[in-house]
Amino acid sequence: MISIPGQSGATCDGFSRREFLRVGGAGLIGLSLPDILRLQASQSATAGPAHNAPKNGWGQAKQVILIYLQGGPSHIDIWDPKPDAPSNVRGDFKPIKTKVPGIHLSEVMPKLAQQMDKATLIRSMSYTPAGLFNHTAAIYQIMTGYTPDRVSPSGQLEPPAPNDFPHMGSQITRLRPLQLPMLPFVMLPRPLQESNVIGKGGTAGFLGAAYDPYYFYQDPAKDINLDDLTLRKEVSRERLERRSTLLKTVNDAMPEMEKAVGKYALDSYYQKAFDLVSSGRARDAFDLNKEKDKLRELYGRHTFGQGLLLARRLIEAGTRFVQMNWPAVANGDPTVDAWDTHAANFGPLRNLHCPKLDSGLSALLVDLDERGLLKETLVVALGEFGRSPRLGVSTSGNSNSPDGRDHWPYCYTAFVAGAGVGRGMLYGKSDATGSSPAENPVHPTQLVATIYHALGIDPHSIVFNHLNQPRELVQADPVLGLFS
């Protein structure tokens, strides 16, 4: 709920300061929405291009949809088939042609194959694990652009902490604040998670909770609860506007009052909180019932598909950064919902995961393109790593079934589209077994730098951490060859 923080004190309307704006629910991580808006503005800055900044793709994106396939999907069995490799590498699936001559996908992605003229595959994602062989640390790296300070041999980390490096979406929210009443950064439909480590890499870290995403942890394929963004029944729009007018009156008189009593003045950020709730913009964006059934079916009537449809609605309404997490724990059961296919690879991919990925991602591309949104929306889909080229071997200390694949950070694939990214392209190349890059290796931090660059933010811009030490947004350069 939205409440004014601070000590209580009656207003002429009979409300205490703390209860003055009790108009709905919007508390996030212990901060009220006005707190968040005020803190965001106090730290916001405009990052411009460096003096000699390259132009390729610079500033072409207005918003980002990050599709995070947490758990590590197999690059060979989805994006980068190897039909000429030995049987214990190529696996069960056959390659199929796409709409772009020379680009093949696995047979489990037939719908996306017809949309590859709208996207680029980076088949040379790669990094050498230094304590990054398991999910949590690798997730932290791609979300923040930084390697965590302390990593156990298993790759597990501590829970989120105030001194964590911020998620890139939080940095973008700070540097590219919205000028309309909308949620700037939304993460859905579940947290980043490995075992009992929940949310690592998914917070604003040392920027403070004001820049945390709006955590929408609900299943968009089911009925959605929007209490956070809905006026209480007993508070009409007219009553809300009357309170807003009263708030302005109190605020205008507050400076002199403050001199006498030392209270904190009410400020304009409450007006933004009013606007967010009263405008209905965010609430309407979450209403998937406004979409035609035919389109909802195209995305797929499942959590992932409806989540991507919701992502499109959010960016259309003005959200700057939407992160759609694969709706499963990173190291979950592959026969139920997870990409972590140690115990079984081909059955889950064919029957569970890839049909959802195929319908959701292909529909998103079509939908964005038809609405003219793809030219200003950067779409990125990837996991924290790929899977081992050889079947049934252990590369990370985990056990694997004969048809299972282990973690493989040395070479995997990322999918990118929109905002000036080349259409129908391959960037980089893997070797004959998908084991290592053969051309143009791309480190995950370079992809983070590319996201900043596409939004017109210099990835080498300086931010000060919790110890007031200067740090670059990311210590990497953008991949300019992705842009046409």
Query: Which amino acid, 35?
Result: D
Q: HEC string of 76-123?
A: CCCCCCCCCCCHHHHCCCCEEECCCCCCEEECCCHHHHCCHHHEEEEE
Mean per-residue pLDDT of the chain: 84
* pLDDT confidence of residue 21: 36
Q: pLDDT tens digit string along 326-352?
A: 999 999 999 999 999 999 999 999 999
- The 10s digit of each residue's pLDDT in 403-414 is 999 999 999 999
Residue with tokens 């051309």: 439
The string of pLDDT tens digits covering residues 147-199 is: 877 766 655 677 899 999 999 999 999 999 999 889 999 999 999 999 989 99
Token pair of 337, please? 């919902």
Stretch 284-308: mean pLDDT, rounded? 97
Assign residue 183 the CATH number of its domain: 3.40.720.10
The C-alpha atoms of residue 197 and residue 365 are separated, in whole angstroms, by 32
Q: Domain for residue 270, yes or no?
A: no
Q: How confident is the model at residue 274 (pLDDT cuts 50, 70, 90)?
A: low
Low-confidence winner among 59-73, 134-148, 244-258 (lowest mean pLDDT): 244-258
148, part of any domain: yes
CA distances from 126 to 198, 321, 340, 386, 476 (A): 25, 25, 18, 9, 14
Q: If we measure between CA atoms, which residue out of 356, 421, 414 comes closest to residue 384?
A: 414
pLDDT band at 279 (very low <50, low <70, confident <90, very high): low
Q: For residue 197, give the H/E element and its range.
A: strand 197-198
Residue 463 resides in a domain: yes
- The answer to whether residue 257 sits within a structural domain is no
pLDDT at residue 88 is higher than 50? yes
pLDDT in tens, 37-68: 555 554 444 444 544 545 799 999 999 999 99
Give the Cα separation of 210 and 134 in Å (integer): 30
Kind of pairing, strands 119-125 and 104-106? unpaired
For residues 236 and 196, the model is more confident at: 196
Would 268 be classed as within a structural domain? no
Contacts for 182 with CB less than 8 Å, ≥ 6 apart: 276, 281, 282, 285, 317, 318, 319
8 A C-beta contact, residue 392 and residue 401: yes
Residue 82: pLDDT above 90?
yes
pLDDT at residue 391 in the model? 97
On whether residue 433 sits in a domain, the answer given is: yes
Q: How high is the pLDDT of residue 129?
A: 82
Q: What is the DSSP-derived secondary structure letter of residue 8?
A: -
pTM (predicted TM-score): 0.83
Kindly report, residue by residue over 364-399, the tens digit of the pLDDT: 999 999 999 999 999 999 999 999 999 999 998 889
Question: 12 pLDDT exceeds 70?
Answer: no
Confidence (pLDDT) at 254: 53
Q: Which amino acid is at 2?
A: I
**Percent of the chain whose pLDDT exceeds 90:** 70
Q: At what angle do helices 168-175 and 33-43 cross, to 10 degrees?
A: 70
- Please give the Cα distance from 205 to 111 (Å, whole number): 38
| Mean of pLDDT values over 407-431 | 98
- As a whole number of Å, the end-to-end CA separation of the chain is 46
* Residue of 156, 132, 149, 154 lying closest to 205 (CA atoms): 149
Find out whether 193 and 338 touch, Cβ atoms under 8 Å: no
Predicted confidence (pLDDT) at residue 108 exceeds the cutoff of 60: yes
Q: Tell me how far apart the alpha carbons of residues 66 and 380 are, in angstroms, rounded to a whole number.
A: 5
43 within a domain of the structure (yes/no): no
Q: Which tops the pLDDT comparison, 89 or 237?
A: 89
**Mean pLDDT (whole number) for 19-31:** 39
| Per-residue pLDDT at 78 exceeds 80 | yes
Q: Residue 447 phi/psi, 5° resolution?
A: -70, -40
276 pLDDT exceeds 80? no
Domain ranges, residue 161: 58-224+286-482
More confident residue, 303 or 55: 303
Count up the domains in the chain and report the number: 1
User: Interior CA angle at 389 toward 339 and 386, to 5°?
Assistant: 35
Give a yes or no: residue 250 inside a domain. no
Contact 73, 386 (CB under 8 A): yes
